[in-house]
C-alpha cells in the first residue's frame, strides 16, 4: 500500500489552510488542505527537502486585508465593526470560475451585511459579517442551502461562527473556529448548516487550548451581562419554559423575554433553543460548584 504524508507523520494535524506558527511546518496534501507537523519531528535531511520544495512552490501572498489580519494577526482590524461573525463555507464539489462567481453573487444577495469575502484555498471561503444590527443568518441559510446546491451543482457545508463583540484577540478566535471546523470535516462531509453551538458541543470531546480559549471568551461575554447566568440556570431547570423560569427568577415574563432578546442581539444565541441553552449552561457549570 502506498504511504501518505499522514502515514509518515501520524502526529500531524489536518488544516484547511496553512498556518504560519513557530516550530511548525505545513505540508500540502494532494486532496486538499495541509498536514501540519512539528519541525522537531523531521530529520535534518527531511528539513532540507522541505526547504527545497518551498523555494519552488512559494504560495501567493494574501492581498485581502481581512485575510491578512485574521490569518497573521498583524495590524489592526480593517474596518471597525462592533459585532462581527464569520461564515465558513466548504465546497465539496469542484466548480469552474463562472459557477463560483455566480454562487458568490447569490451569497452577496443573501448576506447584505457582508463586509468582506476571501478564499483560503480552492474549496474554503470566508464571509465576514457585520452583526451590529442582527440578521438571523442561520434561518436564511437553512432555507436556501438546498436550492443553492441544486442551482449551482455544488455540495457544501456552511458553518456559522459565534458573534463576537469587541473582543481582544479576534484573529485567535477566528483561527480557533477554523481549526474546529477543520476537525469536524475530518469526521463528516455532510451538506448542512452548522451553528457554533452544535460544533462547540461536539468539540467538547476533543478539547484543546483553542477550545479552552473559545470557551473562556464566550463565558466572559455571559458574565458581562447582568444576571444572565441566573437566567440560564432558571431556563435549564425549567426546561426552557419562559413562564416557569420567570416565576423562579421573580420577574415578569416580558422582562425575561426582553433580556433574552437582548442576549440574542448581542451574541446570536437563542436561549429558548435547547442547543444554544445547552452551550451556555455548559459554560457556567464551573461557577455553580
Could you tell me if 87 and 137 are in contact, meaning their C-beta atoms sit under 8 angstroms apart? yes
**Least confident segment among 52-56, 134-138, 239-243:** 52-56
Tell how far CA 152 is from the center of its chain: 24
Q: Of 117 and 288, which is predicted with more confidence?
A: 117
Task: Read off the pLDDT band of 144 (50, 70, 90).
Answer: very high
Report, as an integer, the average pLDDT of 10-14. Answer: 73
Q: What is the structure's pLDDT at 204?
A: 75
Tell me how far apart the alpha carbons of residues 22 and 89 are, in angstroms, rounded to a whole number: 27
- The 8-class DSSP code of residue 224 comes to T
Kindly list the structural domains of the chain, giving each domain's residue range(s) and its CATH number in brackets, ordered by start: 5-56 (no CATH), 65-207 (3.30.70), 225-288 (1.10.10.2840)
The tens digit of pLDDT for each residue in 22-71 reads 677 777 665 556 777 777 777 877 777 766 665 544 444 567 899 999 98
The C-alpha torsion from 220 through 206 and 73 to 188, rounded to 10°, is -120
More confident residue, 15 or 1: 15
The yes-or-no verdict on residue 9 having pLDDT over 80 is no
Structure confidence at residue 110 as a pLDDT band (50, 70, 90):
very high
Residue 16: its pLDDT value, please?
59
Answer yes or no: are the C-beta atoms of 210 and 250 closer than 8 Å. no
pLDDT at 58: 45
- What is the Cα Rg of the chain in Å? 21
Is 219 within 8 Å of 283 (Cβ atoms)?
Answer: yes
Residue 63: per-residue pLDDT: 75
Contacts of 77 (CB under 8 A, 6+ apart): 69, 170
Task: Return mean pLDDT, the chain.
Answer: 86
Instruction: Give dist(CA 271, CA 283) in Å, integer.
Output: 13
Q: What is the pLDDT of residue 284?
A: 87
pLDDT level of residue 195 (50, 70, 90 thresholds): very high
Is pTM beyond 0.75? Reply is no
Task: Summarize pLDDT for 121-133 with one digit per residue, the tens.
Answer: 888 999 999 999 9
**Residue 10 pLDDT greater than 60, yes or no:** yes
The grid coordinates listed for 173 are: 478566535
Name the pairing type of β-strands 156-160 and 34-38: unpaired
pLDDT at 89: 97
For the segment 265-278, the average pLDDT, to the nearest whole number, is 93
CA 243 to chain centre: 33
Amino acid at each position: 500500500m502506498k504511504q501518505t504524508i499522514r502515514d509518515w507523520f501520524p502526529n500531524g494535524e489536518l488544516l484547511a489552510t496553512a498556518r504560519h506558527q513557530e516550530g511548525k511546518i505545513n505540508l500540502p496534501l494532494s486532496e486538499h488542505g495541509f498536514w501540519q507537523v512539528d519541525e522537531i519531528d523531521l530529520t535534518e535531511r527531511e528539513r532540507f527537502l522541505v526547504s527545497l520544495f518551498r523555494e519552488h512552490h512559494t504560495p501567493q501572498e494574501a492581498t485581502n486585508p481581512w485575510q491578512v489580519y485574521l490569518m497573521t494577526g498583524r495590524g489592526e482590524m480593517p474596518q471597525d465593526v462592533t459585532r462581527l461573525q464569520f461564515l465558513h463555507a466548504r465546497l465539496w464539489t469542484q466548480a469552474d470560475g463562472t459557477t463560483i462567481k455566480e454562487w458568490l453573487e447569490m451569497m452577496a444577495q443573501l448576506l447584505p451585511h457582508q463586509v468582506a469575502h476571501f478564499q483560503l484555498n480552492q474549496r474554503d471561503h470566508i464571509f465576514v459579517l457585520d452583526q451590529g444590527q442582527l440578521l438571523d443568518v442561520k434561518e436564511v441559510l437553512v432555507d436556501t442551502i438546498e436550492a443553492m446546491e441544486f442551482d449551482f451543482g455544488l455540495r457544501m457545508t456552511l458553518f456559522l461562527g459565534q458573534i463576537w463583540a469587541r473582543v481582544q484577540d479576534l484573529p485567535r478566535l477566528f483561527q480557533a473556529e477554523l481549526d474546529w471546523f477543520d476537525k469536524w470535516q475530518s469526521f463528516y462531509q455532510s451538506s448542512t448548516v452548522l451553528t457554533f453551538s452544535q460544533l462547540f458541543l461536539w468539540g467538547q470531546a476533543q478539547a484543546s487550548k483553542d477550545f479552552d480559549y473559545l470557551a473562556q471568551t464566550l463565558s466572559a461575554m455571559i458574565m458581562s451581562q447582568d444576571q444572565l447566568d441566573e437566567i440560564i440556570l432558571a431556563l435549564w431547570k425549567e426546561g426552557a419554559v419562559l413562564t416557569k423560569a420567570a416565576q423562579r427568577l421573580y420577574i415578569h415574563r416580558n422582562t425575561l423575554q426582553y433580556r433574552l432578546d437582548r442576549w440574542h442581539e448581542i451574541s446570536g444565541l437563542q436561549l429558548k433553543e435547547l442547543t444554544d441553552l445547552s452551550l451556555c449552561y455548559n459554560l457556567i457549570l464551573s461557577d455553580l460548584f
